[in-house]
């Protein structure tokens, strides 16, 4: 018989497949059941939801009972089909638990049916994913959705740091943590926008609140400065005044939540413009590229809409046309190459005060190359890893092997940065993007050097291929 130490222990991490989290077979009630019958079945089975045997199936949760039955003064004889949710949002049994958590946050649900070979094999809940409620992203999402006064948000930055610490210690990758945090930040923005509309009244036209930079790429972890703007339809005369006021309230709300203002002023309070002006800006940046201006403008090409109903297809079309603008692409590449890995003679690591800035000397070159490579293919992808996949498939800017190498380096650098930031947070020190080289393990130190050498080599290859030492 195997000793206990040799028996494989169950994996309770967020990398395990969701089927491992299923505790019970799916519980169905008939399509003609009443709300009372469904509630009694939930109590008898000790579960927070039941599936409805309609075609296609539906689901009724304890939240539905509170919001659609009790709050609506509906009786126990109400047909369950009137208050169920359908169609079902489901996830594959082989998907990682992290993906289930991400889906729950994005869709604001607490029960998720699990599918396998065309059938539902169970339902997982928020409590199945994370035990510590105060550090559960779904718990934080609920707080955001119930927010009625921005002053009641509390120390949001501390809550995000605690959440990131829990997930990081649980083995979740830094990039996956970034996506969860970005989803929560998106929810906070939408709530602040809603509160601003309640105060100001209905908007006079359509608009879109956009984020860019690391938030646009969904690569931000612990809170950093704001990068946002507002695009509006200028058909109504009072649009400018209204949206300036809305921008002011949302930006101030984000500051209250712990997002510091952007040192470069890239916030909606300075960047609220009608879509026609945004089209002019994007066109000028691409058709008449100026190297210095593009260093600042580059992050705008990471834009992502998180609130509002204005379609931004005109801006996407302008960015898509950049694939044929060789001069623009060359200037963008030059900008990406200004961020140089800190390597001296014989590729020795060069530090400042014993530290290396991972953002400026490692992540920024990768992000910049991936951004240009995606634009060269008219790709609408924003996350850097997805952009690198596009780049590798094309080979126009970087070849497949190089793209794959960068896609492996980036998560490693993000891991080192987040680890250092969480340590600084724990010691009540200012957060930054640098790591103390001597505090790294020998393995991390060696791989950091190898990663930076590879980034440097790829920069040299791109510089030579595009003849960027010559005047463009």
Phi, psi (deg, nearest 5) at residue 353 = 65, 30
Give the pLDDT mean for 463-470.
85
Q: What's the chain's average pLDDT?
A: 91
| Sign of the alpha-carbon dihedral angle for 81, 84, 87, 88 | negative
pLDDT of residue 133: 46
Mean pLDDT along residues 62-88: 91
Question: Strand locations in 100-202, DSSP E?
Answer: 111-116, 119-125
The enclosing domain of 365 has a CATH number of 1.20.120
3 inside domain: no
Q: Is residue 55 part of a domain?
A: yes
Mark which of 307, 324, 341 sits at the end of a domain.
324
CATH of the domain at 208: 3.30.460.10
More confident residue, 67 or 243: 243
Domain membership of residue 11 (yes or no) is no
pLDDT score recorded for residue 132: 45
For residues 199 and 87, membership in a common domain is answered with no
pLDDT band with cut points at 50, 70 and 90 for residue 469: confident
Q: Do residue 302 and residue 421 come from a single domain?
A: no
- Interhelix angle 400-426/364-375, nearest 10 degrees: 140
- Of the pLDDT bands very low, low, confident and very high (cuts 50, 70, 90), residue 291 is confident
- Is there a domain that residue 13 lies in? no
Read off the pLDDT band of 13 (50, 70, 90).
Answer: low
Distance CA 281, CA 375 (A): 17
Of 324, 349, 379, the one marking the end of a domain is 324
Domain total for the chain? 3
CATH (domain of 48): 3.10.580.10
- Are 429 and 310 members of one domain? no
271 three-class SS: coil
pLDDT at residue 10, rounded to an integer:
33
User: By residue range, what is the domain housing residue 264?
Assistant: 134-324
| pLDDT for res 235 | 83
What pLDDT is attached to residue 378?
96
Same domain, yes or no: 346 and 360:
yes
99 vs 112: CA distance, rounded Å: 11
Terminal-residue alpha carbon distance, the chain: 72
* Structure confidence by residue, pLDDT tens digits, 135-184: 678 888 888 998 998 878 778 888 898 889 988 987 889 999 999 999 99
70 within a domain of the structure (yes/no) = yes
Q: Say if residue 302 is in the same domain as residue 337.
A: no
**Do 114 and 157 lie in a common domain?**
no
Assess whether 370 and 435 both reside in one domain.
yes
Q: Given 100, 129, 158, which residue is the final one in a domain? A: 129
pLDDT the model gives residue 155: 81
| Residue 69 sits in the same domain as residue 139 | no
Is 4 a member of any domain?
no
Query: Is the residue at 382 inside a domain?
Result: yes
Same domain, 319 and 368: no
Q: Are residues 390 and 419 in the same domain?
A: yes
Q: Per mean pLDDT, which range of 171-180, 216-225, 298-307, 351-360 is the poorest? A: 216-225
Q: Are residues 287 and 434 in the same domain?
A: no
Contact 463, 469 (CB under 8 A): yes
403 shares its domain with 416: yes
Instruction: Please name which of 411, 395, 432, 301 lies closest in space to residue 362, comparing C-alpha atoms.
Output: 411
pLDDT tens readout for residues 34-50 = 999 999 999 999 999 99
* Residues 78/69, Cβ–Cβ less than 8 Å: yes
pLDDT in tens, 347-389: 999 999 999 999 999 999 999 999 999 999 999 999 999 999 9
Give the residue-averaged pLDDT of 295-323.
96
- What was the pLDDT predicted at 391? 95
Say which DSSP state 52 is in: E
Q: How many Å apart are CA 131 and CA 47, to the nearest integer?
A: 16
Apex CA 338: angle with CA 334 and CA 341, to 5°? Answer: 130
Residue 432 lies in a domain: yes
């Amino acid at each position: 018989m195997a000793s206990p130490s040799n028996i494989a222990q169950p994996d309770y991490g967020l990398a395990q497949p969701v089927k491992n989290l299923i505790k019970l077979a799916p519980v169905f009630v008939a399509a003609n059941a009443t709300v009372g019958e469904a509630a009694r079945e939930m109590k008898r089975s000790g579960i927070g939801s039941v599936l409805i045997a309609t075609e296609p199936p539906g689901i009724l949760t304890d939240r539905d009972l509170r919001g659609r039955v009790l709050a609506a003064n509906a009786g126990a004889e109400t047909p369950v089909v009137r208050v169920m949710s359908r169609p079902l949002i489901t996830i594959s049994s082989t998907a990682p638990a992290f993906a289930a958590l991400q889906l729950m946050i994005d869709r604001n649900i607490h029960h998720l049916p699990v599918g396998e070979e065309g059938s539902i094999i169970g339902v997982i809940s928020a409590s199945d994913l994370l035990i510590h409620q105060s550090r559960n992203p779904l718990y934080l999402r609920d707080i955001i959705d119930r927010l009625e006064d921005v002053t009641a948000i509390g120390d949001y930055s501390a809550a995000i740091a605690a959440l990131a610490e829990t997930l990081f210690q649980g083995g979740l990758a830094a990039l996956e943590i970034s996506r969860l945090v970005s989803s929560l930040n998106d929810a906070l923005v939408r709530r602040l926008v809603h509160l601003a509309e309640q105060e100001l009244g209905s908007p006079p036209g359509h608009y879109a609140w956009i984020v860019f930079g690391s938030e646009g790429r969904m690569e931000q972890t612990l809170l950093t400065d704001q990068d946002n703007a507002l695009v509006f339809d200028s058909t109504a005369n009072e649009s400018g005044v209204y949206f300036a006021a809305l921008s002011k309230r949302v930006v101030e709300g984000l500051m209250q939540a712990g997002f510091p203002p952007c040192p470069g002023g890239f916030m909606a309070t300075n960047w609220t413009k009608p879509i026609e002006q945004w089209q002019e800006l994007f066109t000028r940046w691409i058709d008449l590229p100026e190297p210095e201006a593009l260093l600042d403008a580059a992050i705008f090409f990471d834009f992502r809409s998180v609130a509002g109903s204005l379609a931004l297809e005109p801006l996407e079309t302008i960015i898509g046309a950049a694939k044929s603008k060789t001069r623009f692409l060359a200037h963008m590449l030059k900008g990406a190459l200004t961020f140089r890995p800190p390597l001296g003679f014989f590729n020795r690591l060069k530090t400042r005060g014993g530290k290396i800035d991972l953002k400026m000397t490692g992540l920024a070159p990768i992000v910049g190359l991936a951004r240009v490579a995606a634009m060269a293919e008219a790709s609408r992808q924003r996350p850097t890893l997805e952009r690198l996949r596009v780049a590798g498939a094309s080979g126009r800017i970087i070849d497949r092997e190089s793209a794959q190498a960068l896609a492996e380096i980036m998560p490693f650098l993000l891991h080192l940065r987040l680890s250092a930031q969480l340590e600084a947070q724990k010691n009540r020190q200012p957060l930054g993007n640098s790591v103390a080289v001597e505090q790294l393990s020998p393995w991390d130190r060696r791989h950091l050097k190898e990663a930076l050498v590879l980034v440097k080599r790829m920069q040299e290859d791109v510089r030579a291929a595009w003849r960027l030492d010559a005047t463009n």
